[in-house]
Each structure stands twice: as structure tokens, then as C-alpha cells.
Amino acid sequence: MKALGVHFLLDVAGAPFATLDDPVLVETLLVDAVKMMGAKVLGIHIHRLSPQGVSGVVVISESHLTIHTWPERGEAAVDLFTCGDVVRARTAVDALARALGATKSDVEERVRGVGSQ
């Protein structure tokens, strides 16, 4: 049975406080990643946390891209689920880690769907 899609879990560390605490920049980087995938943005919600941090979701034609940042730790957790082109998604996730300024990153990929395991 064909998989539903691939879920990418990206953890980044060593990113600059200013990058991870800027909701406008974070939104721009997420949208750039979606464009790199060749996907279409259906909706965006970015929220500035207090006292710092950003949480956001970009709903895309292939599913979603989310982020939660901890600027005080230089860390972010990114979640991308896509039923689109996996190679382009993998490239976009790697580029997003670099764009966030991460000095260290880890990506886990998981094929989704009960019948695809």
C-alpha cells in the first residue's frame, strides 16, 4: 500500500537568538521552504510568544510546516508533513536549518500511513 506521506522532524541548535525571536523572519523562512518544495501556501499563522519565541504553522497544499522556537536556548523544533515530492522536501528542510543559522541539526524522517509500515 502506498504511504500517506513523509513526516520530517527537524531539531536545530546553535541558531541566533535574533533569528529565532523574529516572527517576520521566521515566517519568511518558512514560506521560502514551502516555495523550495514547490508547494502552495494555503494559510499562515505565526504567534510571538512571551517573553520570547515564535510558534507558527503554514498550511500547505501537501499538508503542513510548523515551528516552535526557544531563542534563549538557540533551538527550534520544525515539523514538516508532506505527501508531495520527498526529495524536494528533504532539500527544503536542510535549507531551512541553514537559514535559521543552526550550527547543529538533526532530521528524522518517518513514512506515514498504517498500510505503509
Catalytic annotation, residues: 63, 68, 83
Is residue 7 within 8 A of residue 66, CB to CB? The reply is no
Q: Could you please report the per-residue DSSP string of 101-116?
A: T-SEEEEEEEEE-GGG
End-to-end CA distance of the chain: 9
